[in-house]
Amino acid sequence: MSFSMPDHVKVREVGPRDGFQNEPEVIPTAEKVRLIGLLMQTGLRRMEVTSFVRPDVIPQLADAAAVLEGIERVDGVSLSVLIPNERGLDNALKLQDRFDEVSVFMSASESHNQHNVNRSVQESLAGLERVIARAREAGLGCEAVIATSFGCPYEGHVRPEHVYEIAERLAAAGAGEIGFGDTTGMANPLQVREFFRSAFERLPGVELTAHFHNTRGQGLANVFAALEVGVASFESSFGELGGCPVPAGSTGNIASEDLVSMLHEMGIATGIELPRLLDASAAVQMLLGRPLGSHLLTAGPIDWHQSR
């Protein structure tokens, strides 16, 4: 199979969920809604805005319903929510008119899955198959995210074949998009290139999305490797917020503004206005009161008027 570098890339902003959930201090609901509003004015067309997890597990996201109700919808912007299980889906469906897609998640490795959701891989698969089926019946789009696709902090190497088998089951259950997560920043560019080259062959007709973390500074290099084999869908977080709750030290996702800047400099369109995205990242940095990991927040883009 031959590939070519895409000329347009989709970017899903996950900071309002993946980023906020790792913040130790609870962010007021009104501030979340304000920041989401800023992001929705940047040209982003896909955003993950909250999750219907148990409030005692992630108190930061206990206001999921209030956040959804507070967002002023923008035409052409698809909102998604993260769903951990059928109970979470039940709660989300009460507000179905406020979002368009659901994301479900599990880990490829047994150890990380147990630490993260207290289930075996097979238990998670069985549960997510039911969630996906119900979400599709409700008319919602569905992305299934497989964490630790490129390595596990507890087990080390994760066999790509194992990851593909999980992805095939999730796709067969009705997930139209599969996201592969480098959850603790263990991937390298050569690994990424070969992984996605095979993934395209194994999952024809399924949208493949890359979700890289910058834990060890290789996030954008891994993006480039994925682009080389035709990946045209990425997830990122403004300000480089986020990380993985387990284990400690798993720092943030690639910064949305760093990703968009690199793509624009390479002549790849995103439809995102970089100055507005930087404004949103500067706003969350000011709210949190500490320097964030984003390189562009420090150095600024090469061209402040970049917009593609």
Contacts of 280 by beta carbon, 8 Å cutoff, 6+ apart: 35, 38, 39, 42, 238
Please provide the CATH number assigned to the domain covering 10-294.
3.20.20.70
* pLDDT tens figures, 14-66: 999 999 999 989 999 999 999 999 999 999 999 999 999 999 989 999 999 99
* pLDDT tens figures, 280-308: 999 999 999 999 999 999 999 886 555 55
Q: What whole-number distance in Å separates Cα of residue 78 and Cα of residue 38? A: 15
**Residue of 243, 306, 235 whose CA lies nearest to 277:** 306
Count Cα atoms within 13 angstroms, Cβ side, for 104.
31
Instruction: Give the type of residue at 287.
Output: L
pTM: 0.95
* pLDDT tens figures, 68-91: 999 999 999 999 999 999 999 999
Domain extent listing, the chain:
10-294
pLDDT at 245 (0 to 100) = 65
Give the Cα-Cα-Cα angle 240, 246, 251 (nearest 5 degrees): 20
Q: Quick check: 234 and 211 in contact, CB under 8 A?
A: yes
Maximal C-alpha separation, the chain: 49
Instruction: Give the type of residue at 239.
Output: G
**Quick count: other Cβ atoms within 10 Å of Cβ 245?**
12
Q: Catalogue the active-site residues.
A: 244
Contacts of 144 by beta carbon, 8 Å cutoff, 6+ apart: 103, 104, 105, 106, 128, 132, 167, 170, 171, 173, 175, 177, 178, 179
Structure tokens at 46: 């896909």
